[in-house]
Amino acid sequence: MPWSKRIFDRCGRVIESHSSRKNKIAARVGNPFAGEWDHLHGLSAIVAVGWALFGFPLAAQSPPSPARYAVVLDASHGGEDTGGHTANWSEKSFTLALSVRLRSQLGARGITVITTRESDAAVEPERRAQIANHANAQACLSLHASLSGSGVHLFASSLAPARAAQFTPWKTAQAAFVERSVALAGTLNSALTHAGVTVTLARAGLPVIDSLTCPAVDIEVSPEPSSTQSPADSLSDSDYQARVAEAIVAGIVEWRARGSSVGDAQP
């Protein structure tokens, strides 16, 4: 007998047996619709066939969810810690506004965003690192602003690269990811430069970033070089803010397109 006929015969026997048991159960409990069980429990019979043929129910399979891609935004300062400031401008307000803008634009592109603060609140450096590390993110951006200098400064940790270990010292956790952090800074540099933003790349000792277990870059926004405005007014310029934010988002989108992940970050 062909294998296909054997399968269909087996399916018929399973469905018949399954329906017969349902009708008998219904009759015992006095169900007046006992004869309709075959129709009412067609799905149940199909599940039984699945178990008989394959050892699992024939149920519709949901498509797999897309892999979560997460970015941490760390708006520096907050609360009584104003950072740089003038009479009508403060770094803490600038970084929070930039974080909100980036969160919205990244979220619109399907990227999960975790922030270290959502209001004018002080957050200890250790807590910022805890939030970022718990997120298991593909990138972390520490946001800063400065009234001095010009353009955007991108800093990666100055720690020497090291292999990931089972027990990593908190203050040097970034060492296992620093090479990927330098690559992330390069990707952001390309996006910002393409947008016409002046960029300076550097390495530095960064207490928060040095404790992070993901590719991480410190972004410090300074006044636009060609601006004739005061430093505070230049940083407050909405067009400049939008251009910087859009370029950062473009850089993160490119970083994602390259397939960068936490797993890739380990040397």
Q: Could you give the CA distance from residue 237 to residue 191 in angstroms, rounded to a whole number? A: 20
The band of 2, judged by pLDDT with boundaries at 50, 70 and 90, is low
Residue 182 or residue 49, greater confidence: 182
pLDDT at residue 29, rounded to an integer: 40
Residue 33 has pLDDT above 90, yes or no: no
φ/ψ (deg, to 5) at 220 = -115, 115
Give the tens place of pLDDT for each residue, 152-209. Answer: 999 999 999 998 777 778 899 999 999 999 999 999 999 999 999 999 999 999 999 9
Residues in a beta bridge with 112: 70
Give the tens place of pLDDT for each residue, 221-248. Answer: 999 998 999 999 999 999 999 999 999 9
Residue 64 has pLDDT above 80, yes or no: no
Quick one: tokens of 259?
A: 């397939």
φ/ψ (deg, to 5) at 191 = -65, -40
Other CB atoms within 10 A of residue 140 CB:
31
Residue 169 or residue 147, greater confidence: 147
Mean pLDDT of 108-124: 97
Residue 25 has pLDDT above 50, yes or no: no
Strand positions, DSSP E, 86-148: 112-115, 139-145
Residue 155 or residue 64, greater confidence: 155
Cα 237 to Cα 82, 86, 98, 162, 195, distances in angstroms: 20, 15, 12, 41, 16
User: pTM of the predicted model, to two decimals?
Assistant: 0.74
Say if CB 85 and CB 91 are below 8 A apart.
yes
Alpha carbons within 13 angstroms on the beta-carbon side of residue 100 total 9
pLDDT at residue 8, rounded to an integer: 42
Cα 210 to Cα 181, 191, 192, 232, 252, distances in angstroms: 11, 24, 24, 29, 20
What's the mean pLDDT when you consider all of the chain?
82
Q: Which helix (H) or strand (E) holds 218?
A: strand 216-221
CA 239 to chain centre: 27
What are the chain's domains?
A: 3-54 (no CATH), 70-265 (3.40.630.40)
The band of 253, judged by pLDDT with boundaries at 50, 70 and 90, is very high
Pairing, β 216-221 against β 139-145: parallel
Residue 217 or residue 32, greater confidence: 217
